[in-house]
Structure formats: C-alpha cells, structure tokens
Amino acid sequence: MKLWGGRFTKEENALVNQFNASISFDQRFYRQDIRGSIAHVTMLAKQGILTDTEKQQILAGLEGILADIENGTLDVDPSAEDIHSFVEAALIARIGEAGKKLHTGRSRNDQVALDMKLYIRDEIMALDALIKELLQTILHIIEENLETFMPGFTHLQKAQPVTVAHHFGAYFEMFLRDRSRLSDIRKRMNTCPLGAGALAGTTYPLDREYTASLLDFDCATRNSMDSVSDRDYLIELCSAMATMMMHLSRFSEEIILWNSNEYQFVELDDAYSTGSSIMPQKKNPDIAELVRGKTGRVYGTLVSILTTMKGIPLAYNKDMQEDKELIFDAVDTTKGCLALFTGMLATIKFNQQIMKKSAMNGFTNATDAADYLVNHGVPFRDAHGIVGQLVLSCLEKGISLDEMSLEEYRSISPVFEEDIYEAISLETCVEKRTTLGGPAPSAMREIAKEYQKLLEV
Ligand code: ARG
C-alpha cells in the first residue's frame, strides 16, 4: 500500500520504486517504529484527538504486529516502501478504520527522525557495554603485569623501559575517553522529535513533552525544522566510532608487531589466530589485521555522512535516507571489532622473559646513567654528552652499559662509582619513575585502583 497514491495518476516506474525504497534496510527499525507509534497514539488519546476505543484498538493491533514479527509469523513485506508504510498498512489490514488514524499529527519525517534516535540510543548503550568489557580486560592485564618489564619506544626505537601495565594503561585512558564521548553524545541527542510533523509542527493540540516522557527522552525538541533535519548526532557518533577504531587499530598494529617472529613479545591464542593454506608453520594475527583494516571503513562513513549533509537545504530531503546503511554498517563494524578485540586480548600470553631481555638491551638505561651524573652534581647537558660517549664506546665493543667495567666508566667521567650498576639496573630504572603517570609499579598500582573505581559505573 502506498501512503501517497491520491495525487498520482499512474504507477511509478519499477526502477524508481526500487531506487526510492528503504525497506530492505530500514526494517531494522520495526521495534522503534512500533514503540514510537504506541507513544504517539497514547498521547493522541490523552489529548482527546483519538477516542479511548480507537486507542485500545490501535495499541492491540501494534502490539500484535510486533509480537508476530518477533515470533516469525509476520514477515516484513519487501515490496513496501519503508518500515513506516509497512507497519501502517499491516495495522489497517488488521484493525480496519481505526488504523487509518495512526498517522494523525505526524509525518514520516519526524517518524524516521524518532526511529533513528531510538535506535542509536540503544546502540550507544551497546557500544558502551562493549567498551566497558574491553576496559575490564585491559585492567585485568594491568593488575597482573605491574612488574612485567618491556621496552618503551619512540620512533619505534627502544627508548626507556616501562611495564606492560603502564603500556596498557595508555590504552585504558584512550578507551575511557571514548566511553565518555559516547555518554556526551547520548546527553545531547536525547530529545524527542516526534510532533515536529513534516517540518512545521501541526495544528492538532499535541502534548509533545508527554510523548517525549513516554519514550524516555529528556525533553521534546524545540524547533520543528531542526527536528526533522538534524543528523548531527550521527556525525558525532561516527566521529566517536572513528576515534575508537583508530585506537583499536593502533593497538592492533602493536599486537601484530609483538606477535611477529622478530619481537615474540606475545602469543595469540589459537582460537584468535588463523593459518595459511600453503605454509603449515603459520599462525597469523588476522583478527588484529581485520580490525586495523576495518578502521578505514568506519572513517569512510564519517566522511560520507558529513558530505551528504553539507549541501542539504532545510528541512527534510530524501538525501538523508542515505544515513541509514552507512550508520548501520559503522555501528555493526565497530561493535564487532570491539567484541573480537576484547576476546583476543583476554586470551593473549606475554612472553615475560623475552620482553624483559628486550627492555635490557638497546641502551634503554642511558637516560638513567645521565640522571646518575646529574644526582652527583653534573649539569644535565654535560651528563648527556658523557653518556653519549659511553654508548659509543659500548657500541664499538658490542656490549651494554651494564657490561662496561668501572675503569672504563671512570676513564670517561671520574664521577662514576660502583653504585652506577645498581642505578642503571632495569628494576631501578622502572621503580624510580614514580612521578604521577609514570611506570613505577608503586605508581601504577595506585592508578589501577582509580581505574577500578572508574569502572563501577
Ligand atoms: N525512508 C525515509 C528516510 O529514510 C523516511 C522518510 C520519508 N519522508 C519523505 N518525505 N519521503 O529518510
């Protein structure tokens, strides 16, 4: 059934029909669409726009449609134009005349704006739950690895020693910010557009605040033109998801490196790895690679929706129908990546000995050797130069700073004493970095307690 056949004299072209229809993808909205209609009809009856009998008939019809779709006895008609037309037609087929009053004081423009908001609100909660699980998994790794040493890198060159807890703490902070971005978006988008009509409200005495409260919105939107034209929250969500994916992708890149034969810092569980069809020895980090790969797809959505919106005059235009497949794909992709990445992390094994050995070579304690001199009164810039000479001499001999004899140390600077070895040991290098935010196990232990509290909500 067409909702708008009246002013037309012939059927539309079959291709136009197909091009215009959104039922293949907006049928996802059937729950939200029915929920919105139930609230709308409840409000119409409260305002005396529908009789109580009409309300009862419509509500029973809508609830029946919902139940039948859920239990599989009613299939969404693929030849309907969209989910809104489908539900209305199904209602009229079931209850007759009263069903024709469902659309009083409403347009598909405010209806689709509502459906999308209800849908996205639930998806924000789902994303939030997945990020929380990821954060819990990271926190568990932090608590278990406060003293698991590893090299910290800059320019992918060994820089200074850190711990696995500290490195993972960095990702905890990133995903925590992602989580707070989601809650910001939810706060801003939680206003109800229903009752905005096509664009200019309606002449019926609607109680829009009542409808908003029935649907758990904070309030009704304030401008009917904005209500049907606003897709900002989708753009905000895409931007937040793009950022999450960027974090996941960076993390994936590290896991891929750490899992390589060259690093061997970690081993992925068999359940989260895949093999090669030709090379029997292979165990590949495909999950991490796919997460890294899918990041581009989510970025694409952000740019697509921004571009779709940029030239649209007020108020509703059909261009906006394009938002659906894009946002659905981005949300599904991000949720899938979060879930799989969490599973992969939860089962990862750290090769503690290899990480420790790696943290000990590559002169990661050179800064500490310079700090030793500073603590003995040498200005930092001079200390930097002295240790630079030491490193050069070590490189020539193919040894590390720990392996250099005290005589050699003293030949470059007489300030060095026997306690230099203790001062540049891996343990000292990490344990002494107790400043707020540093890797020392004592400092990280306190931070982990804060993390625990932050996850109580
Ligand atoms: N399928 C449409 C969309 O997704 C629903 C709104 C249709 N409104 C209209 N005036 N044709 O945007």
pLDDT in tens, 306-326: 999 999 999 999 999 999 999
pLDDT at 417 over 80: yes
* Residue 111 to residue 191: CA distance in whole angstroms: 13
Confidence at 1, pLDDT banded by 50, 70, 90: low
Ligand 1: residue whose CA is nearest its atom 3: 321
Closest atom of ligand 1 to CA, residue 82: 1
**Residue 290: pLDDT over 90:** yes
Is the distance from the beta carbon of residue 302 to the nearest atom of ligand 1 less than 6 Å?
Answer: no
The C-alpha angle with vertex 63 and arms to 61 and 66, in degrees rounded to 5, equals 110
Distance between Cα 284 and ligand 1 center (Å): 45
Q: Is 276 a catalytic residue?
A: yes
- Tokens (6 digits) for 229: 């034209």
Task: Report the separation in Å between the CA atom of 81 and the middle of ligand 1, taken as the mean of its atom positions.
Answer: 9
Please state the pTM of the whole predicted model.
0.94
Q: Which residue's CA is minimally distant from atom 12 of ligand 1?
A: 321
Rounded alpha-carbon distances, angstroms, from residue 336 to 186, 204, 290, 410: 21, 44, 11, 58
Average pLDDT, the chain: 96
pLDDT reading at 92 higher than 90: yes
**Closest Cα to residue 231, out of 128, 181, 301, 180?**
301
- Residues of the chain with pLDDT > 90, as a percent, come to 93
405 is catalytic: no
Q: What is the DSSP letter of 27?
A: G
Does pLDDT of 163 surpass 80?
yes
pLDDT-derived band at 3, boundaries 50, 70, 90: confident
317 Cβ inside 6 Å of ligand 1: no
Q: How far is the CA of 320 from the centre of ligand 1 (A)?
A: 8
- pLDDT classification of 145: cutoffs 50, 70, 90: very high
Q: Alpha helices, DSSP H only, in 311-379?
A: 323-346, 352-360, 366-375
What three-state secondary structure class fits 418?
Answer: coil
State how far the Cα of 360 lies from the Cα of 427, in Å rounded to an integer. Answer: 10
Residue 94, pLDDT score: 98
Q: Alpha-carbon distance 344 to 342, whole Å?
A: 5
Collapsing DSSP states into helix, strand and coil, what is residue 158?
strand
Q: Is any ligand 1 atom within 6 A of the Cβ of residue 108?
A: yes
Ligand 1 atom having least distance to the Cα of 81 = 1
Give 140 Cα–ligand 1 centroid separation in angstroms: 46
Residue 287 has pLDDT above 80, yes or no: yes
**320 ligand 1 Cβ < 6 A:** yes
Distance 21 CA to ligand 1 centre (A): 9
Q: What is the DSSP string of 261-324?
A: TTT--EE--GGG-B--SS-TT--B-HHHHHHHHHHHHHHHHHHHHHHHHHTPPSS--GGGGGHH
Catalytic residue among 79, 183, 260, 276: 276
By CB atoms closer than 10 A (0-12, 13-18, 19+), residue 189 is buried
Q: Give yes or no for residue 115 CB within 6 A of ligand 1.
A: no
Q: How many helices (H) and strands (E) does the chain have?
A: 19, 6
- Of 117-121, 274-278, 329-333, 397-401, give the lowest mean pLDDT range: 274-278
Is residue 112 in contact with ligand 1, taking CB distance under 6 Å?
Answer: yes
Lowest mean pLDDT among 107-116, 128-137, 267-276: 267-276
C-beta of 316 in contact with ligand 1 (< 6 A): yes
Does residue 110 line the site of ligand 1, with CB under 6 A?
no
How many angstroms does the Cα of residue 22 sit away from the middle of ligand 1? 8
How far is 405 from 313, CA to CA, in rounded Å? 76
Helix (H, G, I), strand (E, B) or coil at 180: helix
Q: Looking at ligand 1, which atom is closest to the CA of residue 316?
A: 10
